[in-house]
Amino acid sequence: QSVLTQPRSVSGSPGQSVTISCTGTSGPLGDLESVSWYQQHSGRAPKVMIFDVNKRPSGVPDRFSGSKFGNTASLIISGLQAEDEAEYYCCSYAGTYTWLFGGGTKLTVL
Amino acid sequence: QVQLVESGGGAVQPGRSLRLSCAASGFTFSQYVMYWVRQAPGKGLEWVAVIRYDGARKQYADSVKGRFTISRDNSKNTLDLQMNSLRVEDTALYFCARKRDAFGSGSFNRFDPWGQGTLVIVSS
């Protein structure tokens, strides 16, 4: 079964940069050609921060960026701010009209 | 403004059925692919189902295939999820979400916006 693997947690101090990885396994997920990233604050609905690997929706700060190398996609948050503390999920189109989310990464701003 | 409001959640015994609805407003509902995504308490997001803008194509996660049915009424701007043979592991907050861009345009992997969710508890 295909899986998207994320670290359980990452942390950083205000102003620092952090990277959250998302590694795909077999099949279409290995390509990660269409990966998006969602931010979810506790008790809130998810919000898209990055789509199609590295595209940023309007209104999302340019501190958020995305990249991909091989079967690993990354969300990079630079200039950490307190409000960035949240859960982050990667999501990949898995083919045949199906999608798969990663397990989520809790970002703590120290 | 664009808004999605889920309803229909509640507590139900294993094996029973429940029907969730998502009321859409602020956009031309019939032009957008719609999704259901769920989140078990304290757990991550899980994509559940998708339906094309005209209802002609549907797909389900393996975990719900054969038990859940996604449907839409474009005349009423509503998205539904009929959940049968519910299991304890179906307990979750169920979100409806929209594909960001209409029809087949734009990214296929951009869920935007999301509703606030409706809670389903399956317990004996």
pLDDT tens digits, one per residue of A7-17:
999 999 999 99
Cα gap A35→A92, rounded to integer Å? 4
Q: Enumerate residues 56 to 75 of chain A having a beta carbon within 8 A of any beta carbon in chain B.
A: 57
pLDDT tens digits, one per residue of A16-25:
999 999 998 7
Q: Does B115 touch chain A (CB under 8 A)?
A: yes
Confidence of residue A47 (pLDDT cuts 50, 70, 90): very high
Q: Do B44 and A100 touch (CB under 8 A)?
A: no
> For A92, left (φ over 0), alpha (ψ -120 to 50), or beta?
beta
> Which residues from B are below 8 Å from A40, CB to CB?
45
Dihedral of alpha carbons A51, A39, B72, A97, sign:
positive
In this predicted structure, the answer to whether residue A32 has a pLDDT above a threshold of 60 is yes
Instruction: Please tell me the distance in Å from A57's CA to the nearest CA on chain B.
Output: 10
Encoded tokens for B54: 């005209």
Q: Give me the average pLDDT of each 10-residue run along chain B (124 residues).
A: 97 98 97 97 96 96 97 98 98 96 85 97 97
Chain B residue with Cα closest to A104: B44
In this predicted structure, the answer to whether residue A30 has a pLDDT above a threshold of 60 is no
